[in-house]
Amino acid sequence: VESTQSTGDLPVFGRIDVNPERVKEMRKRAKEVMNHQIKTAEQKKLFKDTEKQEAVKFEVDMLSRAKTETRDDCYRKYLIRKSVQENLEKSWTTQHQLKMSRDHAELTHRRKTRIAAFGPMRQNTKDVINARNAATIRELQIFGRR
């Protein structure tokens, strides 16, 4: 059985074992543990910061891509609407010109048939002149050129 007193070179454990060298060694180890914990905490903080920066960078890239895609999509839709509108306007113009030429041809045909129906015109007959004027007025009312 060991005694509480030191016997030669054998270490004694407990309160009596506290000597200046042992205290220095314990403090040194405590400082090393503390420095290791501080380094570990700094590394964790740095790792979290870099992760957060990478996440923010990824989100910014994603948002800029989405913005670019949205802008391009809007521009494509604008071009489609513009081409549809231009095609409609061309179609309307062509149809209007076709209608005007048909109306003109019909009016010319009516005038020719009216002259053929009334015969050659006599300058002195008021009835023929009045009939011709009435027919012209009716044609203008029908075709909207009054």
The pLDDT score that the predictor gives to residue 19 is 80
* Confidence (pLDDT) at 14: 59
Question: Residue 139: which residues within 8 A CB-CB, separation 6 or more?
Answer: 107, 110
Lowest pLDDT segment from 70-74, 98-102, 110-114, 117-121: 117-121
- The pTM (predicted TM-score) of the whole model is 0.44
Confidence class for position 41, pLDDT limits 50, 70, 90: very high
Pull the structure tokens for residue 138: 């009716």
The pLDDT assigned to 33 comes to 96
d(CA 95, CA 101): 10
